[in-house]
Amino acid sequence: MAAARKRCSSSSSSAEEDATNLCDGEREHPYASMLCCHSVQDSLLSSNSSFTRYRGILNWIIIMLVLTHAHLFLANFIQHGFLIDVRKVLGHLMEDNCTWPSVVLILGANVFALVALLLERSQEKGILSIASGQRLHLTNLGFLVLFPAAVIVHEPTISTGGAFFSLWFYTVLGMKLYSYQETNRWYRLVHPEKEEDGSVTQKHHEETIRDLYYFILAPTLCYQRDFPRTPRVRISKLLHRLLEMVVVFQIIVAIVQQWMEPIFQRSETSFSDMDVSVRLEQLLSLLAPSHFLCLLLFFLSHSFLNLCAELLRFGDRHFYGDWWNATTLVALWRSWNVPFQRWSRRHVYSQLVDRNVPPSRAELLLFLVTTALCEVLVSLPLRSFRLWIVLTMLLELSVAVFLGDYFQGNYGNGLVWLCLLLGPPLAVTTYFHDHYHQHRRPHR
């Protein structure tokens, strides 16, 4: 019996070895492909899988979103009728007495740009020292920051849309001119020239008005003297981007007028005066349209920046990263707006670190400055300081600090999307709700 069991075990082990050898391809067998049909591999949707082709699932999600919200659109049309009217948009842009203070305000920004150019030329020619030139530049930028704010606050005829465009334009211009003077200062410090007598002078570079205005119009916030250029302007790309902007703008108008405005009309008071339950119901009603509006505005900025880049043959079109795949809020903040992130790291964060500020504290200061800037850019044109954007972003910072280590991978990405749904876009919507309630309802 022992001998028989030994023969059986030996024959069984030999069979396993034969099967292993057949699977490894070490022996030829006419049915080798049929004998071995398994290998070590993960499920496609598991976290260990390297599978990334989810386009079909994305198409399914888009179709489901359209179908699940179709009844909302249908109920909205049945209840309120067709409310879309692009001409209403002009009411937020037109200004009394045809004085157009916002247009005059934007045209007046040329003064600050020309002053910056004059200061740079004076430094290149040796009329001004580097220290004096920098002080005058900062003075010019200080007036640039205060001028639009003073006009918006004290000019009653400026429209809401005009105030928004003016303030955003001046903010972008201020960042550009700061980068302009700072980068030129670096050039002068890094590229000295030696004269025949051994003295050191600055390498001469003629700053031209053409270069300055190219930088002002280019879709970037960081200045350099030689920008990468594409070989030619592609007309087909221009028309494609222009069509995208027209279509997306129409959809944005439709969402605001057909979906969000009826929700605004149902409320009787501002958010600050609502009961908690009513406020929660109102926020949940605005959740979906505000989120869709945020995504559409992002795509509109994508089309606009690429349109400007194509017109100017601007080569660097890395305007955003794959923020939709971000697994942490920090990764989201670093990838959703690359031009601003590049400017802030170059001109704020690195300068603070060079002055022996700890990196963590420098990042915190940068975040607080960005938060305050977002609050001003929204609340000042609406003349409504609620601090909801500040509170929302501080709450997101708390989530990033205290929950970031517990939510990683797919769970972290889910947390990021949850913060996008319940975060600053919804807070911004509440500002417009109160603005509508304050200025539009009395005229009904």
Cα distances (angstroms) measured from residue 212 to each of 166, 187, 215, 276? 20, 16, 5, 52
161-170: pLDDT as tens digits: 889 999 999 9
- How far apart are alpha carbons 383 and 152 in whole angstroms? 9
Give the confidence band of 78 by pLDDT, cuts at 50, 70, 90: confident
Give the confidence band of 228 by pLDDT, cuts at 50, 70, 90: very high
Q: What is the DSSP letter of 99?
A: -
- How far apart are alpha carbons 235 and 242 in whole angstroms? 10
pLDDT at 21 over 70: no
- Tell me the backbone φ, ψ of residue 202, rounded to 5 degrees: -85, 145
Tokens 């002078």 — which residue? 201
Q: Where does 50-174 show beta strands of DSSP type E?
A: none
- How far apart are alpha carbons 118 and 208 in whole angstroms? 10
Could you tell me the two tokens for 28?
A: 């030829």
Q: For the chain, state the CA radius of gyration.
A: 30
- The closest alpha carbon to 216, from 179, 166, 259, belongs to 179
* pTM value surpassing 0.75: yes
Instruction: Provide the 10 A C-beta neighbour count for residue 442.
Output: 7
Contact 227, 316 (CB under 8 A): yes
Q: At what angle do helices 359-382 and 388-403 cross, to 10 degrees?
A: 150
268-324: pLDDT as tens digits: 777 777 778 888 888 888 888 898 899 999 999 999 999 999 999 999 999 999 999
Q: What's the pLDDT score for residue 92?
A: 59
Q: Rounded mean pLDDT of the chain?
A: 83
- How far apart are alpha carbons 284 and 306 in whole angstroms? 34
Contact 134, 181 (CB under 8 A): yes
Please give the average per-residue pLDDT across 171-200, as a whole number.
Answer: 78
- How far apart are alpha carbons 347 and 362 in whole angstroms? 12
Helix (H) or strand (E) holding 194: strand 192-194
